Structure 1
Amino acid sequence: MSEVKNKALLAKQAAVIMNRLTTEEKNNALLRMADQLITDQQSIIEANKLDLERGRTNGTSASLLDRLALNEERIADIAQGLRLIVNLQDPVGDVLHAFERPNGLKIEQIRVPLGVIGMIYEARPNVTVDAAGLCLKTGNTVVLRGGSAALETNKRIVAVLHQALRETAIPVNALQYIEDADRASVDEMLTLNGILDVVIPRGGASLIQNVVRNATVPVIETGAGICHTFIDVSANAEMAHQIAYNAKVQRPSVCNSMETLLIHRDYDVEQTQKLLQAFQERDVELRGCPRTQQLVETITLATDQDYKTEYNDYILNVRIVDSLEEALQHISQFGTKHSECIVTESDEHAARFLQEVDAAAVYHNASTRFTDGFEFGFGAEIGISTQKLHARGPMGLPALTSSKYRISGTGQIRG
């Protein structure tokens, strides 16, 4: 039996136990996991160094190495994320709807775990802990398959979490990690119908598209983040500068960072030049439309392929548009339904943008960098869903539950 199927079956067996644990038992386990991460942080950092060294040898970009790197501060943040999940309300068992039929049947719709979750993701090792914490808190078991770039780090993190779980009510087998780095292990996970209840991909466009195209197991799709900021003609210049700058350079390697800046043609030219200069001073490579090139000669011409690319790097597309309608059309054509922003003092334009843009998160006068489970008050997140079924946007605890109906009668039969 393959590693993938064996570990998935172990997780399925553990799901029976998970389904009967109390919130207190689950919370105690998460706290023990958080403490163990701090206790064993040096061993995690040492494993992380092996991944970083391999990444540098293989020519991994600086932005991806940043996503991969762990230190004591980042591990402390990851452990704190588990503690925050403990403080969140457990949605399992919540009554969503209750009613009584004329025949006396009492019907309740309640939240229940999804079951066995397969999580496929790329370089960020914090996702290993976030996914484990969110899944276990909601009574699910989870089979993790991280990217090869963080293999040693993830293996060590899961070993640490397993050590913690041995002292709790949560069975160790509730948390599984696939060590096989071959792509075939991903393909096998996608077809484990009857074992995995759902697969959640988290990463770049190619990973997500592969999962969506090839999975026979149900998928909760998290999308690539080609996010836009539109500076309208009435935008406050200081606000627009701060929002756009933050959206790109605060942490360009993440999915909610801005990839394309749209600017109204009648917005102040001098302010536009100042903003673009600020990006260049931060070593952001600018690619722009012909109008943008007329303002800054060193900007290279942006192509449609550039507008379709999630850079996750210090690269930014800039396009000057004639109107709000043209900005909306550009976002519709090139956006990935993740996060979009308008900076404007016009209530009418803001209302239109918020209503018409089809995305999981739409912003008025605020950076797209806020599309995040922690910032939304969900604690850690399992991903940002860009689909329209079941869950959309940052997925916290409720998104990892389904529902079932409980019906109580007094002997009713259907005539």
Structure 2
Amino acid sequence: MDEASERRAAKAAEPAFRRRVFYIPGYDPFHPRRYRELYRREGAEQAALSGYGLTLRPKTTKGPYGWHVTGLIEGARAEADVEVLVWSDIVRGSMSETIPATYLQLLRTAWAYIGSGALFRLMRLRKGPMIAALYPIVFLIAQLALCAGLGWLLGRLVAGWSHWSLGTLVFALVTGLGLRWFRAHDNKVFAWYLMHDYAYSAQSKGANPPELEARMFEFCKRIEAALADPELDELLVVGHSSGAHLGISILADLIRAGHGTRDGSAAPPDRPALSFLTLGQVVPMVSFLPEARRLRADLRYLSARDEVFWLDVTAPGDGCAFALCDPVAVSGVAPEDKKWPLVVSAAFTRTLSAQRWRKLRRRWFRLHFQYLCAFDALTGAMGEYDYFRVTAGPLTLAQRFGARAPSKSRIERAVNRHRSVA
């Protein structure tokens, strides 16, 4: 056996790095299998681009939906069980509204942000997510105007030929059928979907609905149980989009209850390192609302804890996220001993090739999921964001990013009007 073969054999004999990953999706009504397929497809592409190994198979732990991944990365083997913390049933339930109810949601949501002053404060941060927030309002009003206009025109013609009551019936029928057609084809423009998304957070002016609080309690218990596994090297919680603020509150509750490690950078003998990764976060959309006292308290608390290493990754190219906005600082609740999050950029214009960037730059919703996808211009340097190295590599989040400086262009000014905490 030659020297290279001996080194490979020695590496294979070493115990694998073990990780549990709990992924919290955003406001998404779809089955979690879409995340497995996304991980499988994009992971295979990133492995081919970066020259490492990545293998998926069914998960080895009990419980909800997930998968097992083996990574041969940076000369070492890592084993990870990835579990999706499912709340898509709650999302689907919140979206099962009639057309009139959706337009009533529109009015209530607009008033929640305008009446509280949150909208004008949010505009001081990033234009992209504000355009995304106004987009469904404008589109739904435009759809209503178009359908009502067409209905009025046809109704007037019918009334001229017959009776005004028949014209009124035609107006109502055309308007209703037109709006049903737009809703049925919303997978092209996402206006109705986004309206339900913003309305869900705004319905209680930033407070979590009871059904969501109950589900978050279940998630916290699952993570707590995993923390008791002495064979794990790292427990990683990933919150994407709206899932970021759920993760903040879940981990704050977990640590308040006396769980978690003493030091997020190195696992003690009986507990894994506790790591938290937020991707494409939209925390200010909730924390800027007047009744989001629970979230603001959790932001303040978690930002000062030694038990966790918290990395926040966004990109200015993602128009749906509050890119490089420190969610604690901009919410106006940063304590004097604030440590987290470490805010870094995924830098799409540098980590994606020019060709791929041209292809994706106007696909806003696709870019919002780019954090979970392959980057074709990564160099593999330490501290460079690669979702598959983070979730299937042999280093903790702190070991990989602990020496990384925060983004110089991050926004930390406190612009939130509502700063009371629970």
When the two structures are superposed, what TM-score results if normalisation uses the length of structure 1?
0.29
Structure that is richer in helix per residue: 2
Structure that is richer in strand per residue: 1
When the two structures are superposed, what TM-score results if normalisation uses the length of structure 2?
0.28
